[in-house]
Structure 1
Amino acid sequence: MTHAHLTSLVLALFFLIIIVVLQNKGKNIKIWHMVLRATYILVIVTGCMLFFSAYSIPLSYYLKAILGIIMIGLFEMVIVRKQKGKTTDLLWIAFSIVFVILFVLGFTLPMGFDLIK
């Protein structure tokens, strides 16, 4: 299930990049935005499956789940504020910080990948 969750996260990031590039070019992003929202469902479902498959759920998994939901909110806030022509600098900074924390948590928690073998 970890692979499915990671794949859906990569897809969501890919769609976010496509949307931001299209927004910068002044193109219509409505369909891409809906595809990204469908990807959110995959992220949430696979994340819940990972969360509830743990034998005992330590506090760090709760932190990662909350930060994951915040990350999805930041995706939406970046897109919508950019559509309205508002600045998104602080949101990108928050996005970067949350992304790094989630990345580190995802790879260090027991159900994550072991990168160093």
Structure 2
Amino acid sequence: MGFLTDTTHFHIFTWVVGIILFLASASMAAGTKGKKITHMILRLFYILIIVSGAALFFKYQTNDSMLYGIKFLLGLLTIGFMEMTLVRGSKGKNTGLMWILFVVFLLATLFIGFKLPLGFDFFA
């Protein structure tokens, strides 16, 4: 399982693909077969994101357990709002608040993720 915890590359790949699939699925018309397929593939990537994130969390949480725990929680909330946005959109309900919460939690997750010791230092 070293490929999950040696670097963050797999985890970053999964959430980048997940965000792309989310935006693609959200832009498709409700009830189409393509949207359903894209949404199911996105759900597979939710699992990959959680598994790779959990592997990193359990390996590196001893460094700064509070920040890693907050990042893990924010990541789960981001995935939750992604799913709620798509489901509410397919049911024809208002998704404005879900989009706002998704963006807020995504930005918070990215900010904390990049600030962690395992993240990137953009200003070094």
TM-score normalised by the shorter chain: which range applies? Answer: over 0.9
8 Å contact 1:23–1:82 — kept in the other structure?
Answer: no
User: Which residue of structure 2 lines up, in the alignment, with residue 27 of structure 1?
Assistant: 32
Opposite residue 88 of structure 2, the aligned amino acid is R
Root-mean-square deviation (Å): 1.4
2-side partners of 1:71 and 1:99: how far apart?
A: 6
Opposite residue 31 of structure 1, the aligned amino acid is I
Structure 1: unaligned runs, 5 residues or longer: none
Aligned to 1:53, the other structure's residue is in SS state helix
1-side partners of 2:73 and 2:61: how far apart?
A: 19
Structure 2: unaligned runs, 5 residues or longer: 1-6
2-side partners of 1:74 and 1:55: how far apart?
A: 25
8 Å contact 2:61–2:68 — kept in the other structure?
Answer: no
User: Which residue of structure 2 lines up, in the alignment, with residue 73 of structure 1?
Assistant: 80
List structure 1 segments (4+ residues) > 3 angstroms apart after TM superposition: none
What TM-score results when the alignment is normalised by the length of structure 1?
Answer: 0.92
What TM-score results when the alignment is normalised by the length of structure 2?
Answer: 0.87
Opposite residue 27 of structure 1, the aligned amino acid is T
User: Which residue of structure 1 lines up, in the alignment, with residue 21 of structure 2?
Assistant: 15
Aligned to 2:28, the other structure's residue is in SS state helix
Q: Report the number of matched residues.
A: 116
